[in-house]
Amino acid sequence: MKNNKYMIVYNELAEQIKNGKLKPGIKLPSEHELSSEYHTSRETIRKALTLLSQNGFIQKIKGKGSVVLDVTKYDFPVSGLVSFKEISQRMNMEYKTHVEELELIVPDEYIRDQLDLSKKDKVWKVVRVREINKERIILDKDYFNKKFVPSLTKDICEDSIYNYLENELKVNISFAKKEIVVEEATDEDRQLMDLNDYEHIVVVRNYVYLKDTSLLEYTESRHRLDKFKFVDFARREK
Amino acid sequence: MKNNKYMIVYNELAEQIKNGKLKPGIKLPSEHELSSEYHTSRETIRKALTLLSQNGFIQKIKGKGSVVLDVTKYDFPVSGLVSFKEISQRMNMEYKTHVEELELIVPDEYIRDQLDLSKKDKVWKVVRVREINKERIILDKDYFNKKFVPSLTKDICEDSIYNYLENELKVNISFAKKEIVVEEATDEDRQLMDLNDYEHIVVVRNYVYLKDTSLLEYTESRHRLDKFKFVDFARREK
DNA sequence: TAGTGGTCTAGACCACAGA
DNA sequence: CTGTGGTCTAGACCACTAA
């Protein structure tokens, strides 16, 4: 967590909106008032409010003020990198992760291409099945560049790899590109998941970049289609 | 198009990146240099660069500079509200819109609920089929609150409703919530689209809000699953 | 008209990267 | 060490809203 002034303001206000101290519909104090409350400049307050509005907490209206939005309506986290653990905990469900595969491999051409690797680079391949309420409905296949992730264990994979990367290895994840398509289910899908009779599967491909723009990870998250849901905010900048 | 200084800087740089004058991998001039080039302050330049990085054009690296990313890789627009017309033009495809329905209705409960309406409010219902390369692959069902959109014509629907709303009616669209799920195809889907034998359909639900946080529009965009693709950037803020 | 958020400025100091 | 981007300030003027 960053300790900038604007992040402090952001976190305090976000917390109050999430726990209901600031209720949907009411107006926040004006930027002028907030800046004297927090003993900071108006631009710094504006940075915090801009973040809040980008993340769906408030709505800024010129000439009027900033209105608190109803965040309880939004059942999924505001877009971004979110791990399976976070989601299932937030949804309050019984969940379990099965690590099916965990090995250091020399990647095939497809993965080498996806991860922008040279021929001698090695990658960690992790295959995990996610079980929610007794059903195996998600198949996660992750490929990490060994250069950035020297070691991985089964324990880490069963918990949250993102936690490990960010808190232990201090890897600087900066942004990700996400792609959602529907494809025909493969034999592997049918083998590892409770696919019922669905012939198709929702594939979410994630490309995770580091601060220096190099590719850390390529991930395929394969979801049984009846259990898939994706929610996103889109801000209008123009 | 806004005429702020930072939007001018943003648009000029975005244009140069899109048309290849600024190639992927090279570094932009420093913020200091850009501010004297554009005769403006550094904060204004920073606003433009922040927008560029949020939209996937560049990557800012502390202590080093701003690197141009490869936008040609990203075949779909950066997240946000994007109209069908924009997409098909960008993809350079032959496209056509069939307006199947256009009427002022008293909405049923489902729509009333989605749009947060009272019992006497009326809505425009617009049903359009999108044909790309001779195949009818998208079914768009839009519901507009009549309060904000007093009139609609077939011509407008065949062009771009967003254009009409923003440029003619000057409606202030501020943000949207998007939801993607897969559902069983309905008889209507099969009737209006070239569905082949697909039993499922990708449904994108859009809730479009005005600046004063009231709901302008609820949209269902139903895509044949083999032609569906969604791409999104996720920035990491922490 | 008074108050709001939107834009913009000209500085300042900091943390980080690289020679 | 220099140069980069990140944060922050104290003002200014503008456009919009509502009384």
Do the domain assignments include residue B147? yes
Given A53, A73, A93, which residue is the final one in a domain?
A73
Tell me, yes or no, whether B196 and B110 share the same domain: yes
CB A225 within 8 A of CB A183: no
Q: How many CA atoms lie within 13 A of A133 on its CB side?
A: 5
pLDDT at B194 (0 to 100): 95
Nucleotide nearest to B28 (CA to C1'): D4
User: What confidence tier does B81 reach under pLDDT thresholds 50, 70, 90?
Assistant: very low
Is the pLDDT confidence value at B97 over 50? yes
Q: Please give the mean pLDDT across all residues of chain A.
A: 80
Same domain, residue pair B109 and B152: yes
Report pLDDT digits (tens) over A105-150: 888 877 777 766 777 778 899 999 988 778 898 899 989 888 878 7
Domain harbouring A111, CATH code: 3.40.1410.10
pLDDT, tens digit, for every residue of A60-79?
888 889 988 876 654 433 34
**Interchain pair B232, A178: CB under 8 A:** yes
Residues B181 and B155 in one domain: yes
Task: Please tell me whether residues B65 and B104 are part of one structural domain.
Answer: no
More confident residue, B60 or B9: B9
What is the per-residue pLDDT for B180? 84
Task: Residue B142: count other Cβ atoms within 10 Å of its Cβ.
Answer: 21
What the block records as the tokens of B42 is 């550094």
My answer on whether A54 and A137 are in the same domain is: no
Please name the residue of chain B whose CA is at the shortest distance from the CA of residue A181: B229
Maximum average pLDDT range among A68-72, A162-166, A190-194: A190-194
Residue B51, token pair as written in the block:
């927008």
In this prediction, residue B236 has a pLDDT band, given cuts at 50, 70 and 90, of very low
B48 domain-assigned = yes
Q: Which domain holds residue A50?
A: 5-73
Q: Is there a single domain that holds both residue A218 and residue A129?
A: yes
Q: Is residue B185 part of a domain?
A: yes
pLDDT for A138 equals 87
pLDDT band at A194 (very low <50, low <70, confident <90, very high): very high
Distance of CA B61 to the CA centre of its chain: 28
Does B77 map to a domain?
no
List the single range of A45-49, B49-53, B176-180 with lowest mean pLDDT.
Answer: B176-180
Residue A79 resides in a domain: no
Q: Are residues B113 and B194 in the same domain?
A: yes
Residue A17: pLDDT over 80: yes
pLDDT single digits (tens) B150-202: 788 888 787 767 767 766 666 666 667 778 889 999 999 999 999 999 999 99
Task: Provide the CATH number for the domain around residue B31.
Answer: 1.10.10.10
Tell whether B62 is within 8 A of chain A (Cβ): yes
Q: Is the pLDDT of residue A151 over 90?
A: no
Residue that is last in its domain, among B44, B72, B100: B72
Reduced to 3 DSSP states, what percent helix, strand and coil does chain A have, rounded to the nearest 5? 30, 35, 35
Confidence of residue B75 (pLDDT cuts 50, 70, 90): very low
Strand D proximal to A10 Cβ, under 7 A: no
Percent of chain B with pLDDT over 90: 30
Interatomic distance B62 CA / D1 C1' (Å): 18
Tell me which residue in A180, A211, A213 faces B230 most closely, judged by beta carbons.
Answer: A180
Asked if residue A105 and residue A124 are part of one domain, the reply reads yes
- Residues B137, B187 within the same domain: yes
Is A99 near chain B, with CB under 8 Å?
no
**Of B72, B97, B128, which one is at a domain's C-terminal end?**
B72
Shared domain for B37 and B90, answered yes or no, is no
pLDDT of residue B99: 92
A11-39 burial by CB neighbour count: b if 16+ within 10 A, else e? eebbeebeeeebeeeeebeebeebbeebe
Same domain flag for B201 and B95: yes
- Say how many domains are in chain A: 2
Strand D contact residues in chain B (12-71), C-beta within 7 Å: 28, 30-33, 42-43, 46, 49, 60-66
Q: In angstroms, how far is the first alpha carbon of chain A from the final one? A: 30
Distance CA B58, CA B69 (A): 5
A112 and A173 share one domain = yes
B-chain residues within 8 Å CB-CB of A80?
A: 234-237
Quick check: is B237 in a domain? no
Residue B203 has pLDDT above 80, yes or no: yes
> Is residue A78 a part of any domain in this protein?
no
Residue B66 pLDDT greater than 80, yes or no: yes
d(CA B92, CA B86): 10
Q: Is residue B78 part of a domain?
A: no
| Contact: A59, B178; criterion CB under 8 Å | no
User: Residues A90-115: what's their mean pLDDT?
Assistant: 77
Q: Whole-angstrom Cα distance, residue A1 to residue B238?
A: 6
Alpha carbons B177 and B174: distance in angstroms, whole number: 11
